[in-house]
Amino acid sequence: MAVLPIYKLPDAVLRQEARKITEINGKLQRLIDDMAETMYAAPGLGLAANQVGELKRLIVFDVSHKEGGPRKLQVMLNPCIAAGEGEVIHEEGCLSVADFSAEVRRHAKVLIKGLDREGKPMEIAGEGLLAIVLQHEIDHLNGILFIDHLSRLKRGLFLRRLKKQAAAR
């Protein structure tokens, strides 16, 4: 296993839509393991394949250790939000958006459908932090970042700060 580089805004791969996974093989299994190691090393609660430069509909996530439990890695291929209800506002950050966090409005509960790492159908009903992480990572697969959920003013302030930091380097 290896820790992969995490792509950061403004890298174009973060704005591209990931492609559906149609073949499950050893190369994909290695990518899953590397993504898990990368997520834990970062440390993060979730990671989408776009964030490591792979345009595949693949996410890894683990909210259990954030909530005080042991690690419990979860993997989903081709995830999609089948249903969402309620509303919650939660402070979010992102491994691909350095040094910035903001309150984001999301569904309070979601039903996610996809495949497990062997290609078997699976569903996850999530609420609380799990629902937020799942929506955040699925957004990545669609080329959407959490800053896209912010008001035009807040997003503009962040992007100007990002440009200023890049110019200072």
Kindly name the residue from 37, 87, 91, 137 that is annotated as catalytic. 137
Residues 6+ apart with CB under 8 A from 49: 18, 31, 35, 55, 56, 57, 58, 59, 141
**DSSP-derived 3-state class of residue 138:** helix
For residue 79, cis peptide bond before it (omega within 30 degrees of 0): no
Within 13 Å of residue 132, how many CA atoms lie on the same side as its CB?
17
Does 137 participate in catalysis according to the annotation? yes
Catalytically active residues are 137
